[in-house]
């Protein structure tokens, strides 16, 4: 029997075991499919337009490999350089197994690949089949057709464990892509240490120490015959390292344990030794499964369909990966100035993708892992104080204050709020290099003017004045809440006044937020159907920028002449067809509403504020039914997951709670997919029960008392009582 046949038999046995185990005592990890979100949409019916350009439409850009919640290591297959997370389901070859991933075209550190026979830096990728691929939380497996090798991966927080089973008699070799992650790397190092280890670095910020179960014979550096174009930095060759082993005809699998660190090789070694040195592969994989089971068990559901349960736990898994741990096991980390910090009273985490995840994922993180949320905030403070005193941002906008005050008001208070406030206040009031772009203009005029470019191509980057004005207004509200908490009345009043600035870019004649040019005139001609990458709007059009003021929905509604006018606008949004323009970062449409990008994610809830909650629910149900298992393989999201935002949106809406204004410690109640949800918040579970099968909510009680309106505050949920949502 060949290794390939053995692999197929093993997969069948694993599947059979899982089925038997599920019938006896169902495990929540059995509901998780780490491959969900790895496929790309190609069909016009899914995309919302006909494909004409060659560039691949953005998918969820997620990785299927082995990892733990908020871990330093994401051990994952790489099928394509410069793909979002390195892996695309439609690809047919594997380039290696990397040790980090995110989904934003970065990382993919230290890809390695088991090989046999002759290989070169220009010819080493192996074909594979999805028939011989499997993934579950903390474990990934694939059969490499070219080499006849069964590859298995598992991991701890800071170390990856590789197990490679070769055909009997094949010479075992390991190819290390020392000079490549998502981008070619100029500065690298690799060397043999003792009999069984090799170590080195990639660039100046990634260090590794690898221990092999087989003694190492030699490490050769092979240089490519090709040169990679690095644009203005010129061309350079991309070498690889090829490791040969002694005792090469041993029948045992090749096993590699690799610790990583952002600080040093010594720390990488300590990370590996303390987390997995005395453990075998199956033990590490089993412990990873147990960790995920405990995490997923914080939300338990009853009723609904198998599909909905699978989607809930897969999206919960996906929403639990970022931010990424960057502290070593001894507490060391490298700060944003490049200095090594020791002795901190917190674990250091990567900068959150604030523009995306402030809406929901960071609040969900605090509900599930308040200790991690606290350390993310402490990391944010540390990062800001070492960056000219401005609160860290990410990509666009300035949403760290929303996370900070939203977490504080939800009971995560063991951090220095005045220090965070100092950073947030400076960002909101003092223009500067590391502060908000165009803040001087915003403070002077109450809005950011757009350039008079009515024929701007959608992909061009400009000021994004409308989106910035709307988001700064909400951020001002968040900073104002910190000011209020600390008794700073003057700045509270000033910032609350600024929080109304969203009205300065509202054009009553069209009913849209619209760009204004220098001097105050509306940008003309104006087409709300045309999307932009960053002219007026950030990755949106006028329709997907409607109704954004999460802190003041009543004020937004009041901009229109009547509730009926708001209803008509919303109805038009969800029925007016997309313009047909192919925009590869916008997919998944209901009319003009695009769920595949985040800017419009607040819009469906606007119906609540005009007495039409059931219309919101119809849209929410359509989104959950259509946009999370798309495509022929049912493995595609409507758009990019963006560090877990899309996934967290599904989790929260599926259980009937949403962070409409994440800066406020309350949740908007919707109709859950499940008859009952038990959510363990801290050390106490609360219960959500649904009665009836309709979309219209006719009553809400908590602990037997009727709620007025559709919001419930966090403090009530913490009491561990039962929320009953009655529908018809």
On whether the CB atoms of residues 142 and 34 are closer than 8 A, the answer is no
Residue 555 CB neighbour total at 10 angstroms:
13
pLDDT at 235: 35
Query: What residue spans of 297-353 are helical by DSSP H?
Result: 306-318
On whether the CB atoms of residues 228 and 195 are closer than 8 A, the answer is no
Query: What is the average pLDDT across 590-598?
Result: 95
On whether the CB atoms of residues 116 and 172 are closer than 8 A, the answer is yes
| Residue 161 to residue 556: CA distance in whole angstroms | 52
3-state secondary structure (DSSP) of residue 723 = strand
**For residue range 642-672, what is the model confidence (pLDDT) as tens digits?**
899 999 999 999 999 999 999 999 999 999 9
On whether the CB atoms of residues 186 and 236 are closer than 8 A, the answer is yes
SS3 sequence of 588-627 = CEECCEECCCHHHCCHHHHHHHHCCHHHHHHHHHHHHHHC
pLDDT at 25: 66
Query: What is the average pLDDT across 520-536?
Result: 94
pLDDT at 453: 87
| Residue 354 to residue 539: CA distance in whole angstroms | 15
pLDDT at 3: 36
Asked whether residue 641 carries a pLDDT value surpassing 50, the answer given is yes
Asked whether residue 570 carries a pLDDT value surpassing 90, the answer given is yes
Q: Is pLDDT larger for residue 204 or for residue 538?
A: 538
| Residue 513 to residue 428: CA distance in whole angstroms | 22
Asked whether residue 581 carries a pLDDT value surpassing 70, the answer given is yes
The rounded mean pLDDT for the chain is 93
In this prediction, residue 485 has a pLDDT band, given cuts at 50, 70 and 90, of very high
Asked whether residue 21 carries a pLDDT value surpassing 60, the answer given is no
On whether the CB atoms of residues 148 and 139 are closer than 8 A, the answer is no
Asked whether residue 188 carries a pLDDT value surpassing 50, the answer given is yes
Q: Is pLDDT larger for residue 427 or for residue 234?
A: 427
Counting DSSP H helices and E strands in the chain, the numbers are 18, 36
Query: What is the average pLDDT across 438-458?
Result: 93
The H or E element spanning position 12 is helix 3-24
Instruction: Supply 82's token pair.
Output: 């410069």
Asked whether residue 231 carries a pLDDT value surpassing 70, the answer given is no
Asked whether residue 174 carries a pLDDT value surpassing 70, the answer given is yes
| Residue 128 to residue 7: CA distance in whole angstroms | 13
In this prediction, residue 459 has a pLDDT band, given cuts at 50, 70 and 90, of confident
| Residue 374 to residue 404: CA distance in whole angstroms | 9
On whether the CB atoms of residues 140 and 126 are closer than 8 A, the answer is no
Parallel, antiparallel, or unpaired: how do β-strands 722-727 and 684-691 relate? parallel
Asked whether residue 18 carries a pLDDT value surpassing 80, the answer given is no
Asked whether residue 573 carries a pLDDT value surpassing 70, the answer given is yes
27-31, 201-205, 271-275, 288-292: range with lowest mean pLDDT: 201-205
In this prediction, residue 53 has a pLDDT band, given cuts at 50, 70 and 90, of confident
DSSP letter (8 states) at residue 170: P
On whether the CB atoms of residues 231 and 239 are closer than 8 A, the answer is no
In this prediction, residue 24 has a pLDDT band, given cuts at 50, 70 and 90, of low
Query: What is the average pLDDT across 695-721?
Result: 97
In this prediction, residue 409 has a pLDDT band, given cuts at 50, 70 and 90, of very high
Encode 24-58: b = buried (16+ Cβ within 10 Å), e = exposed. eeebbbbbbbbbbbbbbbeeeebbbbeeeeeebbb
Instruction: Supply 72's token pair.
Output: 């330093």
Asked whether residue 286 carries a pLDDT value surpassing 80, the answer given is yes
Q: Which residue has the tokens 């030794």?
A: 273
pLDDT at 6: 40
**For residue range 311-363, what is the model confidence (pLDDT) as tens digits?**
999 999 999 999 999 999 999 999 999 999 999 999 999 999 999 999 999 99
Q: What is the pTM of this model?
A: 0.95
pLDDT at 178: 94
Residue 424 CB neighbour total at 10 angstroms:
30
| Residue 454 to residue 443: CA distance in whole angstroms | 25
| Residue 448 to residue 439: CA distance in whole angstroms | 8
Residue 540 CB neighbour total at 10 angstroms:
26
Query: What is the average pLDDT across 504-525?
Result: 96
| Residue 451 to residue 513: CA distance in whole angstroms | 15
């Amino acid at each position: 029997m060949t290794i390939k046949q053995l692999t197929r038999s093993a997969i069948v046995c694993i599947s059979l075991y899982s089925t038997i185990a599920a019938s006896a005592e169902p495990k929540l990890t059995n509901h998780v499919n780490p491959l969900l979100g790895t496929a790309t949409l190609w069909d016009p019916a899914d995309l919302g337009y006909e494909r004409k350009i060659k560039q691949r439409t953005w998918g969820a850009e997620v990785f299927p490999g082995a990892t733990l919640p908020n871990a330093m290591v994401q051990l994952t297959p790489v099928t394509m350089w410069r793909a979002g997370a390195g892996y695309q389901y439609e690809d047919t070859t594997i380039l290696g197994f990397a040790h980090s991933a995110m989904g934003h075209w970065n990382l993919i550190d230290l890809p390695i690949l088991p090989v046999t026979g002759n290989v070169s830096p220009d010819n080493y990728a192996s074909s594979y089949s999805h028939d011989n691929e499997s993934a579950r939380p903390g474990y990934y497996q694939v059969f490499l057709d070219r080499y006849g090798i069964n590859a298995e991966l598992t991991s701890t927080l800071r170390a990856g464990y590789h197990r490679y089973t070769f055909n009997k008699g094949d010479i075992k070799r390991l190819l290390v892509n020392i000079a490549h992650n998502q981008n070619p790397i100029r500065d690298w190092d690799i060397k043999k240490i003792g009999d069984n280890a090799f170590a080195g670095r990639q660039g100046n910020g990634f260090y590794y120490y690898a221990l092999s179960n087989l003694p190492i014979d030699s490490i050769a550096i092979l240089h490519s015959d090709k040169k990679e174009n690095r644009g203005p930095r010129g061309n350079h060759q991309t070498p690889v390292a090829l490791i040969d082993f002694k005792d090469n005809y041993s029948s045992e699998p090749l096993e590699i344990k690799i610790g990583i660190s952002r600080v040093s090789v010594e720390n990488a070694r300590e990370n590996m030794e303390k987390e997995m040195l005395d453990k075998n592969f199956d033990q590490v994989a089993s412990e990873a499964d147990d960790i995920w089971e405990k995490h997923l068990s914080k939300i338990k559901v009853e009723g609904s369909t198998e599909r909905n349960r699978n989607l809930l736990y897969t999206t919960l898994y996906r929403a639990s990966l970022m931010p990424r741990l960057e502290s070593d096991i001894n507490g060391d980390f490298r700060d944003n100035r490049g200095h090594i910090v020791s002795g901190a009273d917190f674990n250091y985490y990567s900068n959150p993708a604030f523009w995306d995840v402030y809406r929901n994922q960071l609040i969900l993180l605090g509900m599930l892992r308040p200790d991690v949320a606290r350390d993310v905030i402490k990391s944010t403070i540390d990062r800001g104080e070492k960056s000219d005193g401005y609160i860290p941002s990410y990509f666009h906008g300035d949403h760290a204050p929303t996370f900070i005050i939203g977490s504080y008001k939800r009971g995560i208070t063991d951090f220095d709020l005045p220090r965070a406030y100092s950073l947030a206040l400076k960002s909101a009031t003092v223009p500067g290099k590391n502060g908000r772009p165009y803040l001087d203009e915003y403070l002077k005029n109450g809005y950011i003017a757009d350039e008079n470019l009515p024929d701007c191509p959608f992909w061009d980057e400009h000021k994004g004045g409308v989106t910035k004005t709307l988001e700064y207004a909400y951020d001002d509200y968040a900073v104002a809440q910190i000011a209020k908490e600390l008794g700073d009345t003057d700045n509270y009043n000033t910032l609350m006044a600024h929080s109304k600035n969203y009205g300065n870019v509202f054009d009553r004649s069209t009913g849209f937020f619209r760009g204004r040019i220098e001097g105050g005139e509306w940008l003309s001609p104006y087409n709300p159907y045309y999307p932009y990458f960053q002219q007026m709007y950030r990755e949106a059009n006028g329709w997907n920028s409607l109704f954004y003021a999460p802190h003041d929905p009543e004020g937004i509604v009041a901009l229109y002449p009547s509730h009926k006018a708001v209803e008509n606008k919303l109805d038009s949004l969800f029925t007016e067809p997309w313009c047909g323009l192919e925009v590869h970062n916008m997919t998944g449409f209901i009319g003009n509403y695009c769920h595949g990008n985040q800017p419009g994610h607040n819009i469906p809830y606007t119906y609540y504020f005009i007495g039409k909650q059931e219309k919101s629910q119809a849209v929410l149900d359509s989104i959950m039914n259509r946009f999370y298992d798309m495509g022929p393989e049912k493995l595609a999201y409507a758009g990019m997951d963006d560090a877990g935002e899309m996934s967290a949106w599904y989790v929260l809406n599926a259980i009937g709670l949403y962070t409409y204004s994440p800066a406020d410690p309350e949740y908007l109640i919707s109709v859950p997919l499940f008859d009952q949800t038990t959510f363990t918040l801290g050390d106490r579970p609360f219960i959500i029960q649904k009665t009836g099968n309709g979309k219209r909510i006719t009553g809400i009680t908590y602990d037997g008392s009727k709620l007025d309106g559709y919001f419930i505050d966090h403090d009530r949920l913490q009491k561990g009582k039962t929320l009953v949502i009655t529908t018809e």
